[in-house]
Amino acid sequence: MFSDAPHFDVRDYLRKEMMPHFLCPGCGHGMALRALLWAIHELNIDRDKLAVVSGIGCAGRLSAYIDANTFHTTHGRPLAYATGLALARPDLHVVVITGDGDCLAIGGNHLIHACRRNLKLTCLMLNNEIYGMTGGQVSPTTSETRLTTTTPHGNSEPNFDACALATAAGAGFVGREVTRHVPKLKELIKAGLQHPGFAFVEVVSDCTEVYGRKNDMGSSAEMVLRQKSEMRPSAYRDSVDEPFRSTDLPTGILAQNNRPEYGAALRAAAAARAAK
Amino acid sequence: MNEQSNVVALNATSEPTAFNAALAEPTNVLIVGVGGQGVILVSKVLASLAQAHGYEVKQSEVHGMAKRGGTVFSHVRFGPRVWSPTIAKGEADVLIALEWAEGLRWLPHLKRDTGVFICDTKRIVPPFACRSRRPGAPMRYATETAEQVAAYVSEAYAIDATKMAEELGNERAANVVLLGALSTVLEFALPEWEKTVTAFVPKKTIAVNSAAFELGRNWIAEAKNEPPSADAAPAAAPVHAPYQPRLEITDAWCKSCEICVKLCPERCLTLNADRIATLVAPEKCTGCRLCEWLCPDFAIRVHLDPEAPAMEAAQ
Amino acid sequence: MPTRPSQADIYQTRYGSHGDYPMIVLAPASAREIYDETIRAFDLAELCRTPVILLYDQVIAQSSETVALGGRTSVHATRKWASGPREAYKPYAADADLIPPMPRPGDGYRTHTTGLTHSETGFPSQDPETVTRNLGRLYAKLDKHRDLIDSFEAVRCEDAEVVIVAIGISARAARRAVDACRAEGKKVGLFRPVTLWPFPEVALREATRNAKAILVPELNIGQLRLEIERQLRDRRVEGLHLISGEPITPAQIAAAATKLASEV
């Protein structure tokens, strides 16, 4: 922040005529969007060559605010659209913005198979533990005992660990960060964007209006602060002197491998066939 | 001076110093630094060496805040008979400092007339030295000049041991560079030193530490033949150019979520009568950008305007 | 009923959503026609920038037939791409043919694509006037290109007193029934819409100019019949419906057509 270089101005990357955006006051998705655009800025990605594909829900609406090639697709299917786009156009940087419901419930199968294929894509899953736009229904990541409009007596289903799922399914890069740490989130997204295979980044975001309010989680600011107290950065994750926080949310890069990238493998196979 | 010229003798005496512990009075060596630098290793090597030599040794150390980057010091006393484990003010024969300001802090413990001061020029600025987050606020790190130090002690060496160790490929060997320097002012023979250092450093780093030891030892020998230099101590350079923070708030985008108001470390924002975020205490704003980063609505933009010279002078 | 033929999705393909839109649905009735219509489906989709559904029943889909391929090639393989100044570019501002050229990612237009109702800019809109104008254009677009879209087959309809209207496997059976009826001296013809939606109503009216009655055999409780009744209000329209999971036989159709012919 003390650099002489001009600091990143998020407004340069927004479709300003669309602002202010439609998200509720205090919604964490705005911070996540800033981190994504910041990472894109620092990697100097040409916006003409940037395609952002999003699904349905609050997270799905974010693509419309990005000054790039943007696609607001069907519920749960942004990864399917993005897979087609990335295969047909390997010259594009394809980024998927999806939510916990979009990615893990409606599009759960698209996620695991995208992880399995390891096509070069960056998938940003904004996890606010709720279907916010439709009025606060329980989602696959809603914590147990939480109140939602469809769990009036508290959620009794165990919730998903999306990063564990993506890791098990073979994703090339898996990471998690909270919106509270925008610069760290930016760094994580940058690492994901630079990964040569499928990168899955879970962003722990806040839904203050629909989820926080119903669960007495305090004001927007209190929810943002709570993120810090409940997370576990990678630096401390395996530390022996942090024995009492073992249940906290691990953040940082959680898994990384060098499995072959699907698009390149597919093109190489096609070239080999053509040469015969 | 060697060609790397990253080391400077503050005021070398022509006579090589060597404290002979066989005299009735014990030799007092005070080793100081910051957590993680390896103060304890230096003192262990020295204590073990003196003990092997047949002396009685007493060592006392404080390393409580070591992990938090706090101060660490170790008293090593050896001789035919040693009673107290600690060195009183003005009683240290040698003061080895692994950090510049720590060295200055312990200077009063050194014997004014005969004490030897060997100090790494490495600066580790403690958080308390930059407590004011105001832009352009002066940093309260040690400002003493090399001349002032030279005037205070009889024999002093400012050695950039950290840089020397870095050039050897392992910054953490800086403490052994200083051990090498220390070896020139104590009576023990070189093979004894080498044997003890090898026994104490991790096996994988024996090669680099042997090289570091030799480097420190040779440096002192060369520095004793060099004329003193005045610019040894690092100057307190400003971390950044002075600037004045200015907030640009897009009222139409603000949704009154109050995240900026509640999370501003200086509490200089508030919601105005229209419930729009407003900067009410601009003099407190440090330009940390937390409000800009956390505003979910992109309504805040922090500008760091270059500060006018007049304002700089006022501070 | 899996692995059994049925034709109950005629309206689902056309009116499958709560939002309004036109749809091109092609209903081939043979292996060779599936080949041809698939090429045409892609041509129409590319040319008109619209989804196209290829609709066939289980018998048509899973039958093997000896065919000579070739002869048909794609005519509109090239999509209309956007060109011109990038500033103030509107991705859904249509040309005179009502088909807007498509911006390609990477060409610098940086447009937004959404499944929500949108204005000419591509961004979501719920403005009644904007929504009406843009959805209206989708209908006008297909209307304007009906000459490319419409396709049908009319067999011996010129003098037919009874015209059978059918698609898919029901049309295959009806074709044989026509021959059987003609052998008996009954003036029976077949009208088979290859493009099911938009329905080729002009061709239907032409084919049924001399018909006194219409027979609609289909594997549902009455879907295509509703459309024929709507098109030909002055004519007697009878259905022959089977929902047992079996196809309708030529004999059943011939019998129904013969009965109908004797009644009018």
Which residues are bridge partners to A70 per DSSP?
A52, C112
Both tokens of B44, joined, read: 């262990």
B131 and B271 inside one domain = no
Residue B92 and residue B169 share a domain = yes
Domain count, chain B: 2
H-type alpha helices, chain A: 29-42, 78-88, 100, 108-117, 162-168, 182-194, 220-230, 234-237, 262-275
List of chain A residues whose C-beta atoms are within 8 Å of the C-beta of residue B259? 26, 220-221, 224
Quickly state the pLDDT bin for A227 (edges 50, 70, 90). confident
**Same-domain check for residues B201 and B271:** no
- Mean of the pLDDT values across residues A211-221? 92
- CA distance to partner chain B, nearest, from residue A209 (Å): 10
pLDDT digits (tens, 9 = 90+) for B109-141: 999 888 999 999 888 887 777 777 776 677 778
CATH of residue B117? 3.40.920.10
* Residues A72, C108: C-beta atoms closer than 8 Å: no
Q: Say yes or no for a CB contact (<8 Å) between B258 and A221.
A: yes
Interface of A with C (CB under 8 A): 15, 18, 47-49, 51, 63-64, 67-74, 85, 89, 91-92
What pLDDT does residue B243 have?
79
Q: How far apart are CA A242 and CA C104, in angstroms?
A: 52
Residues B252 and B186 in one domain: no
Q: Which two tokens stand for residue B175?
A: 């403490």
Are B90 and B163 part of one and the same domain?
yes
**Interchain proximity C105–A51, CB inside 8 Å:** yes
**Residues B169 and B88 placed together within one structural domain of the fold:** yes
Write the pLDDT tens digit of every residue in B142-162: 888 777 887 888 888 888 999
**Residue in A with minimal Cα distance to C113:** A71
B272 in the same domain as B212 = no
Q: Is B234 a domain residue?
A: no
Phi-psi region of A5 (alpha: psi -120 to 50; beta: other; left: phi over 0): beta
Residue A5: inside a domain, yes or no?
no
Verify that B141 and B59 share a domain, yes or no: yes
Evaluated on CA atoms B120, B126, B131, B132, the torsion sign reads positive
Residue B289, Cβ neighbours under 10 Å: how many? 18
Cα–Cα dist A250/A271, whole Å? 42
Q: Determine contact, residues A85/A228, Cβ cutoff 8 Å.
A: no
pLDDT above 50: residue A151:
yes
Contact between A92 and C105 using a beta-carbon 8 Å cutoff: yes
Instruction: Number of helices (H) and strands (E) in chain B: give both, helices first.
Output: 10, 11
Please report the number of interchain residue pairs, chain A to chain C, with beta-carbon separation below 8 angstroms: 45
In chain C, where the domains are located: 153-263
This model of the complex carries an ipTM of 0.92
| A63: pLDDT strictly greater than 60 | yes
Identify the bridge partners of residue C190 per DSSP, sorted by sequence position. C155, C164
Q: Provide mean pLDDT across the span A75-100.
A: 96
Lowest mean pLDDT among A162-171, B17-26, B287-296, C83-92: B17-26
pLDDT number for residue A3: 53
In this predicted structure, the answer to whether residue B234 has a pLDDT above a threshold of 70 is no
State which residues form the domain around A253. Answer: 11-236+243-275
pLDDT of B314 above 50:
no
Name the percent of chain C lying above pLDDT 90.
82
Do the bridges between strand C195-197 and strand C24-26 make them parallel or antiparallel, or are there none, so unpaired?
Answer: antiparallel
Residue identified by tokens 């056309």 is: C14
The pLDDT score that the predictor gives to residue C1 is 79
Which residue range(s) make up the domain with B118? 7-223
Looking up residue A121, the CATH number of its domain turns out to be: 3.40.50.970
* Cβ neighbours of A7 (radius 10 Å): 15
- Say if residues B20 and B93 touch (Cβ distance below 8 Å): no
How do residues A187-204 score in pLDDT, each as one tens digit?
A: 999 999 999 999 999 999
The minimum CA-CA distance between C58 and chain A, rounded to whole Å, is 27
Mean pLDDT score of chain C = 92
Residue B280 contacts residue B268 (beta carbons within 8 Å): yes
Q: Do A64 and C114 touch (CB under 8 A)?
A: yes
What's the total number of domains in chain A?
A: 1
| Any domain includes B161 | yes
Range with the lowest mean pLDDT among B14-18, B63-67, C114-118? B14-18
Residue with tokens 């920038």: C49
Q: Report helix, strand or coil for A134.
A: coil
Report pLDDT for B136: 66
Q: What is the mean pLDDT of residues A116-132?
A: 96
Residue B230 located in a structural domain: no
Two structure tokens written together for C256: 């129904």
User: Domain C153-263 is of which CATH architecture?
Assistant: 3-Layer(aba) Sandwich (3.40)
Residue B37 has pLDDT above 90, yes or no: no
Residue A116 lies in a domain: yes
Residue C165's identity, in one-letter code, is: V
- Residue C12's alpha-carbon distances to A240, B307, C44, C139, in angstroms, are 61, 69, 20, 18
- Looking at the structure, tell me whether residues B139 and B171 fall in a common domain: yes
CA distance A33 to A25: 15
In a domain, A250, yes or no: yes
Helix ranges, B53-135 (H) = 100-106
Question: Is A2 a residue whose pLDDT tops 60?
Answer: no
B22 shares its domain with B137: yes
